[in-house]
Each structure stands twice: as C-alpha cells, then as structure tokens.
Structure 1
Amino acid sequence: MADEPDDLPELDVPVGMFEDIEDLKAQVASLTALVKKLTGGDDAEPGEASDDEEGETAGGETVEEEDEEEEWQYPPFILLLDPPEYDDELRALIEWVEGVLVPGYLAEPSADARWCHLWWEHPVAIARLHALWLAWQELTDPASCGYTGPSVWHRDHLDPALRELRGSSGPFAGCTKGEHQIDHRMPSLVPSAWSHAED
C-alpha cells in the first residue's frame, strides 16, 4: 500500500499557486509574531497558535469582547446618544462647564462676548461645548499628548469654540444678561437630565 495507485488523475497545478501559498504562510507567521509581541504573548514559534488562542478565536467571543472594549474606549459625541446615556453625558458636561470653564475662562457677558446662563437649552452650545470637553479630556492628559496638550487645547479648541459661542451671531445672540431667548429651548431635555436620583 506504500505505492501510490497508477490510476490517480494528473493534476495540473500551476507552480505559482505553491508560491502564493508559501507567501500567505509567511504573512500569517509574521502577523502572528507581531500580535504576540504586542499582546505580550508566550514564546511559541510564529505561526503556531496555542490551545488557548485557538479556543478563543474559534468561538470568536474573546475577539468580539476585545473589539467592544476598544470601541468604547473613548466617550461618544453627545448628539449621537439617546436617553438615558444622553442625560448622563449632559449632566457630566454641565458639571465640567460650570465647574471649570465658566469660573476659569468666562468673564462677565457683554454685547461682544455673550453667554446664556441656560446654555444647556441651546443645541449648538451643547454640541460645541461637548466637543470642547472631549478635547480637554484628551489634551490635558500627559500620557496621551505630552506636555504641550494644554497649549494645543487652548489654541485649537477653546479659543475658536468661545469665538463661535460668544460672538454676536452665535447661539446666544438673542440672550441678554439675565434673560434667555425661549426660541432656542429644547423642552424636557434638561429637566430629564436632572431627574435621576443621586447615588
């Protein structure tokens, strides 16, 4: 039985196919080695998956879980959220604006530098301030941006955002000191954001 039967059909396999397969093997081995290096994997030979890795990728559950964690690593833009996530994000934004931005950066409102004390009822203000806050979270962390991040945040984010928000044609154009223009209101948005019981 060691001899091959004489009646096997001759297969006309192009030589290039074998080269392609060898190239694919080399690429898989290289990628496997890179993944192990980046994830601190064991010292197995490139191209050889451990039993644990095979079990994890066979079901795809672990890979999907890791993808979901990476997907939610950064907070989403507020206008893409629905309640109750929107309400929670708005509450956090209000805390940042009222606790950091207003006392630290906003002088008394004037005709040239408007501000509305009910800014959270202006959709454009919510969008711009949330974008500003997201940039602040990233650019004030030396681990993600080094020590020049705050300077970049002031130049590229804070100054343009305040010019747009506080300008005479900005979202607060109809609001005067102590008065709020009702036309800009977003009914029930802020009350629902504050309606959650404190933990």
Structure 2
Amino acid sequence: MADEPDETPQLDVPVGMFEDIEDLKAQVAKLTALVRTLAGGEGDEPGEASADDAETVGGEAAAEEDDGEEAWQYPPFILLLDPPEYDDELRALIEWVEGVLVPGYLAEPSAEARWCHLWWEHPVAIARLHAVWLAWQELTDPASCGYTGPSTWHRDHLDPCVRELRSSSGPFAGCTKGEHQIDHRMPGLVPSAWAMGES
C-alpha cells in the first residue's frame, strides 16, 4: 500500500503495555455500549446523542434531583413559615411541648423558674422551643447520630433553652398566675394540637 511507511519505526514499548491498551479498549467499548443503552440510541455513534435523548436524560436527572431534595429536606424553622404551614407546624410543636417537654422536664413554675401556660403567645418562646424540637427530632434518632444524641440534646439544646425561657429576664418574666406581659387570647380560641380534626 502507498500509505504505509517504508519501514516500521522501532518503538521501545514495555511488554505489558499492549495488554493494558487492549484492556482499556474493552472497557471503553463496554462503557460506550452502556451509554448507548441508557440514552436509548443503540444505532448512534458514540457522542452523537440526539437532542431528544439529551432532553429526556436531562429531564430525568432533574426530576431525580428534585425528588432527592424533597426526600432529605429537614423541616424549616417555624419563624420562616407563612400560614397555613406555620399553623400546622405550631400545632405539632404544641403537641410535642405539652406531651413531652412539660410533663417530662418542667417542674411547677415558681418565681425562679417561670413558665407560661400560654407560651405559644410569646414569639421568643415559639422560636426557642421549635429549635429545641428540631434538634430533638434529629438527635433522638440513633441512625443519624448514634447513641450519644440524647445526651448531646440535653446538654447543648434543652438545658440552655429552658434556662433562658425560665429565667427572671426571659420571655415569661411578666407571666404570673393573674398577669401577663402580653395580651393573651381567650383559652377557647387557643390553637390546640388535639382539636386539629374538629375544623
């Protein structure tokens, strides 16, 4: 043939390199076939995916990313929510505080350890208790934090929150049995976690 050189160049190539090149060629061929199968264009040349194929693959990837974000998204901080999401989150928070926190951790209120039975009327209390509740949801799950999570929750979240809320300068400072620092709604109008199904 006219295209062939007159003499073959002498290349100093290590003996095992030809085998490595053949292995690489086989791997590239497998990956090319896999890409063609996934793209749905078995007759196309490598790198020649049609615009429709690209849109389909891109759309599926975007849908998977959206699903992944929703599946792993933590609940947002309550003060960033608007109704009706805020109302739903507040009802769930009330249920947790009244069902877990109050009976399990809060002794009888006193001048040194204040508590307001209408705590959800105090935005600062809502913010602090919601943050503690979010931490509780994460740190009481052994799958995400091991078995030291509850200890961390008590030390780093619950204890500082309760100290701040019940201190003499906290949000309940003016709340005694007959007086309140802020105007409370009548008890019949207070949102209740137990009355969610009645409306």
The TM-score with structure 2 as length reference comes to 0.66
Gaps of 5+ in 2: 1-29, 41-52
Structure 1 vs Structure 2 CA RMSD: 3.0
**TM-aligned CA deviation for residue 58 of structure 1:** 4.6
Q: Distance in 2 between matches of 1:166 and 1:69?
A: 36
Provide closer, same or farther for how the CA distance between residues 142 and 60 of structure 1 changes in structure 2, counting only shifts above 3 A.
closer
For the 8 Å contact 1:56–1:62, the answer to whether it is kept is no
Larger radius of gyration: 2
Aligned to 1:181: 180
Aligned to 2:39: 51
Misfit runs of 4+, over 6 Å: none
1:159 aligns with 2:159: yes
Provide closer, same or farther for how the CA distance between residues 180 and 101 of structure 1 changes in structure 2, counting only shifts above 3 A.
farther
Q: Distance in 1 between matches of 2:196 and 2:151?
A: 36
**TM-aligned CA deviation for residue 65 of structure 1:** 2.2
For the 8 Å contact 2:172–2:181, the answer to whether it is kept is no
**How many residues are aligned here?**
152
Provide closer, same or farther for how the CA distance between residues 59 and 146 of structure 1 changes in structure 2, counting only shifts above 3 A.
closer
The one-letter code of the counterpart of 2:140 is: T
Provide closer, same or farther for how the CA distance between residues 192 and 65 of structure 1 changes in structure 2, counting only shifts above 3 A.
farther
For the 8 Å contact 1:139–1:145, the answer to whether it is kept is yes
Gaps of 5+ in 1: 1-43
Q: Distance in 2 between matches of 1:65 and 1:191?
A: 39
For the 8 Å contact 2:174–2:181, the answer to whether it is kept is no
